[in-house]
Structure 1
Amino acid sequence: MKIVSIVGARPQFVKAFVVSRRLEPDHEELLVHTGQHYSDDLSAVFFEELSIPDPDYNLGVGSDTHGRQTAAMIEGIEEINRVLTDHVSDLLFAPSDLAKTMLEEEEGITDGVHVVGDVGYDAIRWAKERAVDDVFDRLGIEPGEYVLSTVHRAKNTNNPARLEAIFGALAATPKQVIIPIHPRTAGPLREYGLWEETTRAHTVIDPVGYLDFVRLLEGAERVVTDSGGVQKEAFYLETPCVTLREETEWRETVECGWNRLVGADRTAILEGIAADSWPESAPPIYGDGHTAAKLVAILEERIGTGPNSD
């Protein structure tokens, strides 16, 4: 079976490697890297830690001005592309029953949909077995005594009012806040005159690798983020999540009480950080952590089992 896997940013790196490990023994995989994340901190470290092979092709869309413009254009029509891709696909792998229902009700797709769970949960289970505690010593922190925060979405970083509200709320909390700073965030913080206050009030660090991030997320008292992937990872690690968005694609995490949507509202952010009412455990909404095996088995049944099947 021949498979083309396309990755470009952290969420795809994390999801792709668990599927690649299942494909590797018996199938041929062609890896294409769009280059959306191309720095060592946001790309190379993931390829190294997750033992992802060098890409067969690198499109380099993030490497120059034209590439950034192209990436921005693609981001602007992301939802349209997603819907079009859903409709031309013969197989769709849904992470949950709700995702399957949304495909049926919102897009009218009923054929070829398989609820297999989320490969991100596979990745978290793998990482938990390998992550170590030395990241706490390096940062001089103790598990359970800090808030972890990540901010990178353009809606927040490109809007001075939203950015100021978010980082102002973080500065106002008495809890220690650890911020692995995203390049997209560092620039606007400097541009809008918020960098000095941010670095004075918070512990700002460079982006960390996947294993260190999983350990930081698991050890956090809670996480404040605008990342879709981090919302789910927090859910799997049973870390309360305060989401800096008005809506989320992971509605189940909100409905079961592990995720609170606060947008860029300073008061709501502070209330979310201070809240002490959270569930005791996370239900198995997104599978059992063996999604890659189920996904590959369905592909083999549909396409073939040999390396030259097509």
Structure 2
Amino acid sequence: MTSATAAGVAALLRDAAAVTILCHVRPDPDTLGSGLALGQALVALGKTVEVAYPGVLPLPATMAGMPGGELLVDAASVTGHPVAVAVDAATQGRLEELGAVFEAAPTRIVVDHHVSNGGFGSVDLIDPTSDCTASLVLQIVDELGVELTEPIATCIYAGLVTDTGSFRWARPASFRIAARLLEVGVDGARWSRQLLDTHPFAWLQVAGEVLGDAQLVESACGGAGLVYATVPHRLLSSMAWDESESLIDLVRTAGDAEVAAVFKESEPGRWNVSLRSRTDVDVTTIAGGFGGGGHVRAAGYSASGTADEVVAALLAAAQ
């Protein structure tokens, strides 16, 4: 493992004839936007590029029409070029079956901003001070000397606006980046609305049922409080994965608790747990205890058991 700068990564990519770009499972706008932005920049340099994410599920409707989508290939059809880039994946496990493609590449580049990422490439560009991986990709694009076109900028904006919660917890650098992207021609209003404020009507009914069963534990997290909700499999199976991910943003609005958690039953007895904190609590310490990871204020992990069992385990860890 070698730590790299954006310039170092750009030098490796400039010398490559073909590149495989891998996004993490259940892609969000940061991993997909990063992958498609970098892919378009490399195509502009005459490179052969493929972009893929694990699994067979189609992209959520909120990410439909993102520029560069023609570069996407099905996971089963990935060629696997000598240079592979993992974008926004905190661990190789987040690449699932495409982890083998990454591992097989002679040059393996990791570009990520998760504080829990210890590095798993032959070259790692990991910067937890960046609000999103897409911002790091912008640095690479600049080092490649590629023009920042509106399509590339749109993909970067997608990662930036979502990972900062529509700039609610953005650092100053992110506002400067946003200004640059908008000046290039990104339709910020359209993409913010599509990515953050668009849900099918049925989602409202599911969200209402989930929120109706939410629980507040004021003594958790050293008295800072924890609010949590569970999404049983019968409800989760009725939603696209991005719709289920957005539930945590509703739960976290409870001002009585510093930490929010949503338990999503992906299969009977198997749960994906999303954690968020409002200000000071580092939720990576909680997630890490269960083999997960993420950011200081946004992390997650997987668990098995009944709803009561997985909730009890979190409450025990969050005292």
**TM-score scaled by length of structure 2:** 0.41
**TM-score scaled by length of structure 1:** 0.42
Bigger helix fraction: 1
Greater relative contact order (Cα 8 A, min sep 6): structure 1 or 2? 1
Bigger strand fraction: 2
